[in-house]
A and B are shown apart, each in its own frame.
Chain A
Amino acid sequence: MWTYEKRLQYPVKITQTNPKIAQIIISQYGGPDGELGASMRYLSQRYTTPYKEVAGLLTDVGTEELAHLEMICAIVYQLTKDLSPEEIQRSGFDKYYVDHTLGVYPQAAGGTAWTATYIQSKGDPITDLHEDLAAEQKARTTYDNILRMVKDPEVCDPIRFLREREIVHYQRFGECLRIIQDNLDSENFYAFNPSFDK
């Protein structure tokens, strides 16, 4: 089960509102390659993994991603705090505002609500780990894209942190895949599904 620590993993202190970039950054909350998807993906995959190292890593990274989505929400919250109706209208944030006011809602930058169709939990360790490796790269690219759009150093700082975490996770998932390979016959890795076949 989960406990909560009353701090962000990395500080978010944004003093200047900017609803335009809030609209972009929200994709890392509820978008196709965002932290919510990452968390649900890893936490869903862990149940049927037959290897304890992989179960441990999926649990721990899945938990860390919850801390990341909290940071993204804090960024969006601070970027849109106390906006006036005029500021909302001017920035194009009005489309979001009409449905959510200043509430933080899991959606992509384009407005699509988060959906489990963004993730897969295939129940086969080799397949799931390839999904996870891809997910970390997609998240990293999304952060690259955000860093090109954002100039405010107060925003860039936590974003850079989150981007670096994706690279570290990629390495860990790569090691999980090696562990899975070590437990299979290299003559044919695909002879059976170690999570299902007897």
Chain B
Amino acid sequence: MSNYRSNDMYRQQYAQNAYMQQPVSTPCYDRGDPLENMTIAMAYVPWQQWRQIYEPAKGFHRGTIFKELDKPFVGKRGGR
């Protein structure tokens, strides 16, 4: 069932690419993989570096001293 649906999506993308005269060598999306050198069958979380540290007062109210980890709940799409 789900195979049928995703083939449909690829067909639509293929058709759109063709309409917009983009390369259509394959109908499937060639994603590329920034993790292609990592061993498969394992999960990897990138290492955090010590940078962009909030002042204590701000960090306390945000719930973290690390700006890069400050990821608030928005509750709708399009927000950050």
Contacts and interface: CB of A to CB of B under 8 A. Distances in A.
Interface of A: 10, 130, 133, 143-144, 147-148, 160-165, 167-168, 170-171, 173-175, 177-178, 181, 186-187, 189-190
Given A164-B64, A167-B64, A175 B48 contact: yes
Contacts of B72: 160, 164
Contact of B44 (A161, A162, A167, A178): A178
Contacts of B39: 186-187, 189
7 contacts: A10-B60, A160-B63, A163-B73, A167-B64, A168-B69, A177-B45, A189-B42
Contacts of A170: 45
A155 to B, nearest CB: 14
Contacts of A144: 73, 75
A172 B72 CA distance: 18
A83 B11 CA distance: 61
Contacts of A187: 39
B48 A171 contact: yes
A163 B69 CA distance: 12
Contacts, number: 61
Size band of the B side of the interface?
20 to 34
Given A10-B60, A147-B75, A148-B75, A164 B48 contact: no
Interface in B18-51: 39, 41-48
Nearest to B61: A161
A164 B70 CA distance: 7
A68 to B, nearest CB: 11
B44 A164 contact: no
A144 B71 CA distance: 12
